[in-house]
């Protein structure tokens, strides 16, 4: 499930969210992951805004993800001022350990960091190779046990946010799995729980079951040019449903890797970027976060990480937001 090489020495594929099956997809940016390119920490970097997802739980408006084939530079992210890390059991044990090691090595107080992970549950159709792997490794374990294993791999006693990665094969199984996440939260092992890749109708069905701990977040693919696909909640109807239910909306692949549009080279995006003296990637991220949507980007390139964290240093006009939404 890796990202393809394009045969150019400075071309890297940075996985910035979900692929066709709701997992990470490749957003392309040119650069290097040379540690020597790491900019020094800067007082000038803007403070990362947060959104309240549950009582007493503040989530950074931008977080760093990554997968087995292309893990991100988690340590550089933390050094540059990033505080949110996004991962999942499906991304591989090695990724979980890398994220946990970066947290431990950072020297930062645990309460300053925000750690999101996801518990696997696959739909009836195994639409990713991860689901095949999951069926072999974890299907016989209940979701609570999977969550405990995940926390151990991360080296933490508690995760800040634990998501159900996909709806399961049936709504009955989905509800039963979500009940395990509720118990995990009530036992103090997750500050908040949520869902991923749920569309508006799946959210209604979940709520109809009666919930003890409602989902705090729904993480789906969402970007400029990529907000009209309803199957996995990548549409404005799902955004509206989340707001109706008090669920924070979170976007993987915020640079448009799922959209079918070359967002980073689109003339309208480039025009807005030039007007603000910012990069196309910063415009794409700001279009997401300015709506109060939590972004999950990814890169191993420290310069790109610093750029992503700097995307809060400007605001798009109402006219620009509308023009970008029409792509």
Active site residues: 91
State the Cα–Cα distance between residues 107 and 254, nearest whole angstrom. 29
Query: Kind of pairing, strands 114-119 and 84-86?
Result: parallel
Q: CA separation (Å) from 23 to 16, 26, 91, 160?
A: 10, 10, 9, 20
State the Cα–Cα distance between residues 194 and 215, nearest whole angstrom. 4
144: its two tokens: 């609570």
State the Cα–Cα distance between residues 146 and 130, nearest whole angstrom. 15
Read out DSSP for 200-257? HHHHHHHHHT--SS--SEEEEE-BTTB-EETTTTEEHHHHHHHHHHTPEEEEESTTST
Judge contact between 211 and 182, C-beta under 8 A: yes
Read out DSSP for 282-318? HHHHHHHHTTTPEEEE--S-HHHHHHHHGGGSS---H
Q: What is the rounded radius of gyration, in angstroms, for the C-alpha atoms of the chain?
A: 18
Q: At which residue do the structure tokens 């926390």 appear?
A: 151
State the Cα–Cα distance between residues 28 and 313, nearest whole angstrom. 23
262: its two tokens: 């070359």
Q: Which H or E run includes 144?
A: helix 143-154
Task: State the first-to-last Cα distance of the chain, in angstroms, to the nearest integer.
Answer: 29
Query: Kind of pairing, strands 114-119 and 234-235?
Result: unpaired
């Amino acid at each position: 499930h890796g990202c393809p090489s394009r045969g150019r020495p400075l071309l890297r594929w940075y996985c910035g969210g979900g692929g066709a099956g709701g997992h990470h997809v490749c957003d392309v940016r040119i650069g290097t992951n040379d540690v020597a390119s790491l900019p020094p920490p800067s007082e000038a970097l803007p403070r990362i805004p947060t959104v309240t997802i549950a009582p007493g739980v503040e989530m950074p408006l931008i977080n760093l993800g990554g997968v087995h084939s292309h893990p991100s530079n988690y340590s550089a992210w933390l050094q540059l001022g990033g505080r949110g890390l996004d991962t999942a059991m499906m991304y591989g044990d090695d990724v979980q350990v890398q994220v946990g090691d970066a947290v431990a090595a950072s020297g930062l107080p645990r309460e300053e960091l925000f750690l999101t992970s996801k518990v696997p549950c696959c739909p009836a159709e195994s639409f990713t190779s991860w689901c095949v792997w999951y069926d072999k490794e974890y299907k016989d374990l209940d979701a609570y046990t999977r969550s405990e294993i995940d926390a151990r791999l991360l080296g933490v006693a508690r995760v800040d946010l634990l998501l159900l990665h996909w709806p399961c094969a049936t709504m009955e199984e989905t509800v039963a799995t979500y009940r395990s996440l509720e118990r995990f939260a009530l036992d103090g092992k997750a500050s908040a729980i949520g869902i991923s890749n749920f569309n508006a109708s799946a959210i209604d069905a979940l709520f109809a079951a009666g919930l003890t701990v409602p989902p705090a977040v729904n993480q789906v693919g969402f970007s400029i040019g990529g907000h009209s696909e309803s199957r996995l909640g990548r549409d404005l109807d799902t955004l509206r449903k989340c707001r109706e239910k008090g669920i924070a909306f979170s976007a993987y692949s915020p640079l448009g890797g799922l959209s079918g549009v070359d967002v980073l080279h689109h003339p309208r995006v480039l025009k807005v970027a030039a007007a603000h003296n910012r990069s196309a990637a910063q415009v794409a991220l700001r279009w997401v976060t300015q709506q109060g949507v939590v972004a999950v980007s990814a890169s191993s390139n420290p310069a790109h990480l610093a750029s992503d964290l700097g995307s809060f240093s400007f605001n798009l006009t109402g006219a620009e937001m509308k023009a970008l939404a029409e792509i």
